[in-house]
Structure 1
Amino acid sequence: MLETKRFLSVGLALLGLGVPAPARAGEIFIQNPADFVLPFIGTTDGGHVFPGATLPHGMVKAGMDTNSPGNQAGYDADPQFDAIGFSQMHDSGTGGSASLSNFKIWPFASCPSFTKCPTDLFNRAVPRKLLPDGSPDDVASPGYFASNLSTDIRVELTTTRRTALHRYTFPVNSSQPRLLVDITDDGLQSGFEVTMDLDPSTGRVTGGAFFEGSFGPGDYQAFTCVDFRGDGYNFSGPTEYGSWFFNTVTQNATDLDGVFDGSAGALLTFPRSPPSANGTTSILVRVGVSFISSAQACASAEEEIPDWDFDRVRSDALDQWNELLRRVQINPTGVDTETVQLFYSSLYRTHIVPADYTGDNPKWNSTEPYYDSYYCNWDTFRTLYPLYSLHDPSRFALITRAMIDIWRFEGWLPECRGATVQQWVQGGSNADPILGEFFVKYHDQAASLNVSVSDLYNALVTDSESEPDDWDLQGRQANVWVQFDYVPDELFIDFQGTPTRQASRTLEYAFGDFAISQVAKILNKTDDAAEFVKRANGSFNLWNPAVSLPGFPSVTGFIQLKNSEGVFDQPTDPRHCSVNDPTHSTCFLDASNHDGFYESSPTVYSQFVPHDVAQLIIFQGGQEAFIERLNIIFNQSYFDVTDEPSQQIPFMYHYANRPGLSTKQSRQVLTESYNTSVNGLPGNDDSGAMGSFAVFLLAGLYPVPATRQYLLSSPFFPSISFFNPLFNSTTTIIANNWGGSSVYVSNVTVNGSPWPSTCFLDWSHFSASTDTTIELTLTDDDSLGCGDTSDALPPSLSTGGFD
């Protein structure tokens, strides 16, 4: 099987014990949680996870590229696909087309001659060695990747933030070790306007090209700087050098003059190392990358890896991962190892992107941080950023500042962005709930975190009220939204984007404006807050009580398309875009989507009113009818774990005073949809959206973004704790009576005092300046409600819950 090296540092004999060890606030159970990370989870069958070497949020993500059709992150664990290069930048978990995968390095153990090396992207492909179980002989751990190729070359990769360090170990019989630098072949083979310069005396290769964006109309320019050094021996430079174009090598050429596009780069031969005990030759390759220039790529490489010490760079990367992951502690007593691995692997994947491009922004000069690879906010706003709130506020602040800076220079907050260019907007302007999440949680600390409150608020208002030239790439269809408090389904003379997804965009815009209302309230902007609350209620402006679910006549009322005259003139079958859709309609991001919804059915999207589920329950006929509808969503497979609009649904029973049903469903989603295999994800990881969802499921929590609330279930562990370095405090959730069928919460105390609800926790429980202990009493009784007091149900807008 694909291997992740693990050096278990906790007493894992504990994992077999039946009685959980008592937890104390701030207790460290797992000193090196990176040991439990399995980077290969989700690396085939559509997960598109990047398993290579990177730092938390590193710009450089060095990894293997394979010749598979599903190589959006470069790599595919399926052994039928061959390796074609080791490139420096990737995204993780995305759909769309393959992104990045720039500046591949490729080793040749032997060629008939220098000019006969198979340099073309597909001709040079070789299989990986296979292990006895038939899986590739690839190894990964946080900050490190290695593979044994069928040519007997061992490849190892590690990184700093903007630089990759490769180590290629050639076999004894490799008399002329050669390395290829690929300038043009990104994941789409799209490079054009190519430049390259090769220094024959040192072997340094610099160059760059323009490349196509993977999920939008824009192009970007990227550059590289590649240096070579013997590992354990010295050489002055290459013994042979040249350029290549497709499968033609031109010896002694130092540039690519005359090449506009197509597969091209440099080829170099290096001296073997002196005779040694094992006779192998190891060559280090340092690869800097930049979106500004080759000179910047060289400067970054020289600054970050001046000593060429592979083991130091790898160790430093591992230390950074352990420090970050260690902030979230679980008590592993009585828990199977696979669940521990699933938890920390999921948490790990939430910190691969967004990527920190600070100091490498080609668009404008700024002293603010610059983050990229928001791919896309529609996927991540629900769970990724609320998870950052719990354990990584400083990083969250940097990302918030970066988003605000994009607004300063481009006019709107980013929605989907990759490789410095705008990409297609999927739903609403979903940076709004992200900034709302940050501000609701950290408004008191905004100044110390260098977040401009005025700019944050103005950016939110711009998103809501100012229509851009093209709302396919940023912002909203704001003019009609402000006019109608919904998005009508007809064309408008002045429309500046694709006139689709009107119903789902209405729901997304409404929730975005709810998030803005919460910011306005904190800032005492009373009139603004009232206006944004009014627009947040626009969710219900598309409610059509006359539509019922085929086969279930008692399930009536759905979000539907409405025209500007207020008429529901184009009914959409509630089964549309579900496994029950008799027409198998499209609901993706294209002009043929005329049914008003994006990637989820009306049945699912009609539940998306996170800010006012109490009102939604009234529209759906009361608590019992609401519960019946939720049951049908699950029993008839309308729930779609592969798409984020479904993520809240397992926890919605809370609002009908049946938290036990939420616990059942959420646990079932986790156990049926996630595992630690290479196809252990339900679909694309979506830039950590599915990883953060898994973390919350395992923690027994679910966030309501841009609010103070975390819906409460029960953890898969005897205890779980979150350390917040900004407050220098830890919140520990202890599950008393944990184990067996006792998974339902019957009582909650906070620091020994009763908490009135078993259905939600408040942000104050996670933001104190001293440690907080939350104790849950678990039972096997699934019929218990949220509590006896009027404030036991989770808050909703219509019940005054967010006043």
Structure 2
Amino acid sequence: MATRVPGCNRTTLHSRRKQYAHSALTVWITTAHAHIQTGYELIIKSGRWGSHSSELGVSNDDLYSALVTNAEKQPDNWNLQGRQTEVWKKYGMHCGCDEKQRRIELWIYRLCSRRYLGAFWGKHQTGLSKCRVAKGLNKTEDHEKYAKRASNFLNSWDDTVSIDGHTGFIQNRFQNGTFNFTDPRHCSIHDPLESTCYLNAINTDGFYESSTQSFSVQRLSPLNIRVYQGYFDVSNEPSQQMPFMYHYADQPHKSTKRSREVISKFYNLTDTGIPGNDDSEMMWYSGAMASYAAFYLIGLYPLPATRQILLSSPWFPSVNITNAFTNTTTTINAINFNGNGNSSGDRVYVRNVTVNGQTWKSRCWLDWDVFEKGGVVDLVLGEYEDGSEDEDGAGCGDLPASLSTGGYA
């Protein structure tokens, strides 16, 4: 199977990068989930293209200046463009001003969702993407500052809330430190009130488009609950990372198993073969369901704002990925491939990884270099989840980086 890195047409990539980079210098970057679309979307927070900035006709210094402006300066109409930076810097969270204003603020400004969406994707002033850019530009103080801000989502963590045997969820919080309780099932497919969770007057609790279940995971047991009890909603983008989160618990075989279940169960060739709105008409998603399936089928899951790509096994004996910008091809070979896990004896679990003939340090992730420079990735596959046919077992080896455990330092 052959595929191309999305958006890597040489001409369009150059023009779009240049267009959006210069747009970002003159306006605050708009909220991707804003209810009014102004036509700009942030695509410059990636460490993957910094070394090619001169070829793309943009300045790293100018781009970084735009990111800092977006993080530090608050526009008057921050609900449409820019961010609510003053409150974020003062309290370490987006919070309701007081009980009197709670309802109007929570539903209009989507306070709770903006906290954890920003923390995960780095689109807000939380700082994961900014700290990564600062690190790449050797701006040590900024790297430390934005890394700290990226952990602000912890200020919204409430250890007293329980559901389905699991305790600890993200909740909305006021300036005085008190929490505003929201049933963790809210906005999920198990919501007893069947709430819409979109921008309307009924949504008065600060959650938007997705339940707190999507991101409130500390241990394996709640992650299993999300997947097995149906809180995972493949049709909703904020849920899509769940099957691959087992990588961070050093159990990549579970990521492989769950991700394959997603494809087998929810994708097919009938007229209902895509499980949700593909959002192809919307500039910020550009085919969310289809691209999600494409990455799963080639055994990869890209991580926003990083140079790491989570690794599983492809559904094909061999995959060629062409990067049109660098004019290179990366081949992923699935050695011992004999099926896709639907039959006993199918070998789908990654046991060994080599990159250009050299043993790679992890069975869980690849570095962007291999897709930038090209090369050959050989995956030796095994049959058993516990890795009993391999002396190294079933773990990752080198875990994917996580800011909360010292990664990206």
TM range (shorter): 0.7 to 0.9
**Which sections of structure 1, spanning at least 5 residues, go unmatched?**
1-28, 30-325, 329-386, 608-619, 621-625
Match of 1:530 among 144, 157, 172: 144
State how far apart, in whole Å, the 1-side matches of 2:20 and 2:35 are: 15
- Structure 2 residue identity aligned to 1:722: I
Match of 1:754 among 359, 362, 376: 359
Name 1:242's counterpart in structure 2. none
Match of 1:715 among 314, 327, 334: 314
State how far apart, in whole Å, the 2-side matches of 1:668 and 1:582 are: 26
Shift of 1:425: 6.7
Contact 1:503/1:561 (8 A) holds in 2: yes
Are 1:520 and 2:134 an aligned pair?
Answer: yes
Shift of 1:543: 0.8
Shift of 1:683: 1.2
Contact 1:400/1:435 (8 A) holds in 2: yes
Name 1:684's counterpart in structure 2. 277
Shift of 1:799: 3.0
Match of 1:781 among 374, 384, 387: 384
1:546-576 Cα distance to aligned partner (Å, 9 max, x none): 1111xx23x11111111112221x1111100
TM-score (norm. length: structure 2)? 0.86
Shift of 1:393: 6.0
1:408-438 Cα distance to aligned partner (Å, 9 max, x none): 44x2124459xxxx85379xxx955x3212x
Shift of 1:788: 7.2
Are 1:413 and 2:66 an aligned pair?
Answer: no
SS in 2 for 1:766: helix
Matches for 1:55-66 after TM superposition, within 5 Å: none
State how far apart, in whole Å, the 2-side matches of 1:697 and 1:480 are: 38
Instruction: Count the aligned residue pairs.
Output: 383
Contact 1:544/1:560 (8 A) holds in 2: yes
Shift of 1:591: 3.9
1:649-703 Cα distance to aligned partner (Å, 9 max, x none): 0100111111111111111111222223333211110231112111101110001
Shift of 1:594: 1.9
Relative to structure 1, is the Cα distance of residues 578 and 508 closer, same or farther in structure 2, using a 3 angstrom cutoff?
Answer: closer
Name 1:640's counterpart in structure 2. 233
State how far apart, in whole Å, the 1-side matches of 2:381 and 2:336 are: 5
Name 2:283's counterpart in structure 1. none
Match of 2:89 among 482, 485, 492: 482
Shift of 1:798: 3.0
Match of 1:594 among 189, 201, 204: 204
- Structure 1 residue identity aligned to 2:75: P
Matches for 1:730-741 after TM superposition, within 5 Å: 730-740=329-339, 741=346
TM-score (norm. length: structure 1)? 0.45
State how far apart, in whole Å, the 2-side matches of 1:668 and 1:452 are: 44
State how far apart, in whole Å, the 2-side matches of 1:502 and 1:425 are: 19
State how far apart, in whole Å, the 2-side matches of 1:560 and 1:496 are: 15
Matches for 1:472-621 after TM superposition, within 5 Å: 472-490=79-97, 499-511=108-120, 512=122, 513-549=127-163, 552-553=164-165, 555-568=166-179, 570-607=180-217, 620=218
- Structure 1 residue identity aligned to 2:28: W
SS in 1 for 2:49: helix
Contact 2:227/2:242 (8 A) holds in 1: no
The structure with more helix, counted as a fraction of residues: 2
Are 1:388 and 2:388 an aligned pair?
Answer: no
SS in 2 for 1:388: coil
The structure with more strand, counted as a fraction of residues: 1
1:159-215 Cα distance to aligned partner (Å, 9 max, x none): xxxxxxxxxxxxxxxxxxxxxxxxxxxxxxxxxxxxxxxxxxxxxxxxxxxxxxxxx
State how far apart, in whole Å, the 2-side matches of 1:581 and 1:489 are: 23
Matches for 1:34-433 after TM superposition, within 5 Å: 328=4, 387-388=5-6, 391-392=8-9, 395-409=12-26, 411-416=27-32, 424=36, 431-432=41-42
Question: Highest Rg: 1 or 2?
Answer: 1
SS in 2 for 1:509: helix
State how far apart, in whole Å, the 2-side matches of 1:673 and 1:563 are: 39
Contact 1:403/1:413 (8 A) holds in 2: no
State how far apart, in whole Å, the 1-side matches of 2:10 and 2:160 are: 46
Name 1:456's counterpart in structure 2. 63
Are 1:442 and 2:49 an aligned pair?
Answer: yes
State how far apart, in whole Å, the 1-side matches of 2:32 and 2:168 are: 32
Contact 2:318/2:333 (8 A) holds in 1: yes
| Aligned residues: CA RMSD | 2.6
Relative to structure 1, is the Cα distance of residues 516 and 650 closer, same or farther in structure 2, using a 3 angstrom cutoff?
Answer: same
Shift of 1:484: 1.4
1:259-313 Cα distance to aligned partner (Å, 9 max, x none): xxxxxxxxxxxxxxxxxxxxxxxxxxxxxxxxxxxxxxxxxxxxxxxxxxxxxxx
